[in-house]
Amino acid sequence: MSDVGNDQEFQTVEMQKDVEERDKGNRGAENPAEPTATNAPSSASKSILYPRRYADPYDSRKYFVSRPGAFDQAMDDLKVHVVVNMGETAHSFWLLTEIDHWNNEKERVVVITDSAILVCKYDFIMLKCLQLQRIPLNYIDRICQGSFSFPEKSLDRREGEGLRIFWDEQREPNFLSRWNPWSTDVPYTTFTEHPVKNISQRLSTICQIPTFMAQLVQAVQNAQRKAPASGKTNGVAVVNEPIPIQTYTGLMSFLGNRNKLGYSLARGSFGF
């Protein structure tokens, strides 16, 4: 709910109070001996006095990650994987949307560990990890935050801001990587906030890009100080500039993003 909406609602409450006080004064003047009845607040008054801060929970339940215990299960699964297979400690978990080089949205759980960030494709329907990408922290050399930019004649644009993480800034993606929508040979990854960020306080906390970036920068600095990468200069450049996405027609991303195909989502019931 926007600030303007909140101001209007609280103004409405004040106006109602003034009207009630005037009514009480008038009744007292006409019937001084008659006691004033106290009316219980109606449901409409409650909704005005206590406006909801977050979105409609019924609409948000189509995202399986918003259901009780779903993200906790993902955390437990990834903690076991990090400790058993990597011998590391997971410091923080984040729920973000990854945007690939073809502007496709993909729901991701991101984990910051001692020496890496893990980008996990997690199935919140079956509650299992399907794919895991590991990016060493000491290889990250640049982090860019800013609004998305597209070619002038691009048909599929997106609003808002994001975060792009580079771990080999000197290497440019080759022609095949740029034009292959399934290519993973790209030396950067791009994130933006997940659509459920306004559903609850818990989800809002783990979807915040600025907080995620602050912890990531600190983790990169610590990892580079403990284990410098060979052939790379220590230090991470943090810049604020537009994030380019080189898509023109964008038909695939247009259809996929509009239908939320990159998310674990309830698609409705089939049958009778």
62, with CB counted inside 10 A (0-12, 13-18, 19+), is: middle
- A 10 A CB-CB count for 105 gives 21
- Relative to beta strand 128-136, strand 237-240 is unpaired
Higher-confidence residue of 182 and 130: namely 130
pTM, 2 dp: 0.74
What's the confidence (pLDDT) of residue 249? 65
Is the Cβ–Cβ distance between 191 and 99 less than 8 Å?
A: yes
pLDDT value at 49 more than 80: no
What's the confidence (pLDDT) of residue 71? 97
Higher-confidence residue of 241 and 272: namely 241
What's the confidence (pLDDT) of residue 96? 98
Higher-confidence residue of 216 and 39: namely 216
Per the structure block, which two tokens stand in for 191?
């994130």
Alpha-carbon span 135 to 119, nearest angstrom: 8
pLDDT value at 165 more than 80: yes
What's the confidence (pLDDT) of residue 1? 42
Q: How confident is the model at residue 23 (pLDDT cuts 50, 70, 90)?
A: low
Is the Cβ–Cβ distance between 156 and 250 less than 8 Å?
A: yes
pLDDT value at 178 more than 70: no
Phi, then psi, of 110 in degrees rounded to 5? -115, 130
What's the confidence (pLDDT) of residue 181? 64
Is the Cβ–Cβ distance between 135 and 149 less than 8 Å?
A: no
